[in-house]
Amino acid sequence: MATKSSDSKNYKIEDYSIQKEPFYIPVSDEVQVFESAYNQKVPILLKGPTGTGKTRFVEYMSWYISNNVKKSVPLITVACHEDLTASDLVGRYLIDSSGTKWIDGPLTRAVKSGGICYLDEIVEARKDTTVIVHPLTDHRRILTIDKLGEVVEAADGFLMVVSYNPGYQNALKDLKQSTRQRFVAIEFDFPSAELETKVLKEEAGIDDSIAESLASLGEKIRNLTDHGLAEAASTRVLIYAGKLIKDGIEPRRACQVAVTWGITDDKKLYRSIEEIISAIFP
C-alpha cells in the first residue's frame, strides 16, 4: 500500500510494482528468454555496458509478467556497493522504544512476497555477501537466516535477477564461477543507430532529425573506446542531451554537459569528442 507525502508516494518495499508499461523495444528474443526463465524459476544474469537498458528491461519484464499472470509482481531493487553486507540483504535486529525487534532486509522480503529481486551491479558487492544468494539460485530456493535460526522457502513467484558490467571486471571485482554458473545470461549492447533513434525520440521527446543526430553522435563516440575512452557514451547520456535540447539548450552545449563532461575527464578526449559534436551540430 502506498502512502502520499506531498507529491511523492511511499511504498513498503514488497508492495512496489511497475503499474505503467515502461518504454522498451526488444532487440532479440530477450523477452521470451526472461519469461521462460521466470516460468521455470531459473535465475537471470544481465550483462552489458552502462546505459544499455538492463534496468529498464527488468522494469519492463516486471510489468509484462504482472500483466500476464494478472497479479502484481513486486520488483525489489538493490543497488550493490562495496559496503553492502549480508545483513543489509537479509535483515538485522534493531532497537526501538519497545526493545529489540527483527527487521527483514530486501532480499528476505522478496523471497517471502514472491517478487523479483534485482541486484544491480552485483560485482560491486563484497564476495562474502554475494554468496548469500547461492541457496536461492539452485534447486533449493531457500534463504537461511542464521541470526534467527530459520530457513525461508522462496514463494512461488520469486526470481533472482542480477546485473553487471563486464567492462569493470578485474582481479578484485569479478563474479566467482560458483556464482555466475547459477544463472542464465542475457547480453546487452548498444542498439543500432535506427533503434537508438526511436528510443531517443520517445524518451527525450525530440524530433526525428535531432534524434538521428544524437544516435550518430553516440555511434561515433563509441569508436573512441579503441583510443583510450574508458566507457562509451551510453544511450542514457544521449537522452539527457536530447532533453536539454528540447528545453531550449543549444545542441552543442547540451552535448558538452551531458556527454563530453559526463563520460571522461581526459582533456585530449575532450577535444576529440568536441570535434565530433561540432561536425554533427555545426
State pLDDT tens for residues 127-156.
Answer: 888 899 999 999 999 999 999 999 999 999
Nine-digit cell string for 180: 555466475
Average pLDDT over residues 254-271: 91
Average pLDDT over residues 224-244: 89
Domain 2-187: assigned CATH number: 3.40.50.300
Domain residue spans in the chain? 2-187, 193-280
pLDDT interval class at 18 (50, 70, 90): very high
- Whole-angstrom Cα distance, residue 201 to residue 242? 8
pLDDT top residue among 168 and 138: 138
Q: Is the pLDDT of residue 70 over 90?
A: no
Radius of gyration of the chain (CA): 21
